[in-house]
Structure 1
């Protein structure tokens, strides 16, 4: 079956979807995006993703293309129409379309597109065995806190890492690790402290990371929000990274150095379990809420928080 996508205000076969030649996302990278994980047919941490989408748009003075609850409805329809049980749902909002000019006219209508990608997220070989990450200079612009579609730096860094035999790459600026090319970077010290950078314009505030940090607080785990050097990372007891598409992913080698004993560490395993358990519990709560709404005789539209 052909994939159904959302484009130009409608759901259509992907072969029939078209973006204007004059779309500013195409011409200037003047657009933002979000990717939400789908497990068991349900979106994970989507409230955080929709909140970050709103923030990114506001930082670029791009208006919302529609109310947030309608955007979530688009996501749910994409999942249902493509019978997606596990994978991701992608959203992209550009400033709109107009003749090419660095300066844009007022009143442009933002353009929303969306699609799903079926892929295995839970129980992958990488999650079981861990991955090796390369180290590379950070080539990106300074406003990394905005999730724009300007990803050429990440594309080049990831491609170079793959050519060198690594699964991914951590980026380095001013002697400190900023983040992964599409993930948040973490290390765990010998005494069990979980270390990751604080939020700033140098890094993207990860949604999976934010959900995981909440779980760390709930379980009494110590977190330090600070930058760390590549050498500190290579000498750490454990390392991992988080993202919507990889969840909590162990890192067992950084550059030429093996992390710990070269296998996913016990605290990383514990965090993987906490994250998946929390996702399952959120799904169970949503099911109970949906059942209650049905029994009450009305339909309650999904909303972000």
Structure 2
């Protein structure tokens, strides 16, 4: 008995979490039971939670970044659109609407993405509406004059308060550091895509965006998570990028993009601090300690 007592004292002294759990156990149990009751009563599994975040899917040509981004968006739409959810502000049941904005042609109902003003306007969406933005080749799109001119303070504020307005932004890019520096700094996670084509196996490594911002070489960092999936024909039929590519080509001809010097300046890749990486591999640890 004395040994058990001493062991508990040791845990409380050296492990703050253990001390907190013991001191607040009744409140924690009560809160867990209450939350479980609300979750079941109001069928909260019907709520789409794919908002309040900016995810960047990165990968070179043919590595499946667009495919995986589309897979997620289409999956959210098919699973949650039209479900009945409870609005706690209005104290009534409402029908959940998933509105998708995309510059890629999709096989689900979507709104053609033409400017960031559409994102700002989502602040005034109806109750129960979740707005998901899919921006393919964001590093190219945001270098166009059309998009850059409306990347204004209201657009940035809307992105920063995206959880409050139920907005989710999902980007694809060849490299994370090819995107505008301002956009990178508000990104939540980076999904590095790699596709094993003969076997149709898709690999996704998930990194913290802030760490990638300070160490662009992903080989020197440990991913937060690694996922695998199989790419069926149904997934490939979810989208068509031809129209988007044609639009980019047209802008190139019409001088719709900024000059290279301006683009490189907006990327802001001059300074990185790899010591801020919290999940370094052994190679990076050696570099930091030198």
User: TM-score, structure 2 length as denominator?
Assistant: 0.21
User: TM-score, structure 1 length as denominator?
Assistant: 0.21
Q: Computing the radius of gyration over CA atoms, which structure comes out larger, 1 or 2? A: 2
- Which structure is richer in relative contact order (CA contacts within 8 A, separation 6 or more)? 2
Relative to its length, the structure with more strand (as a share) is 1
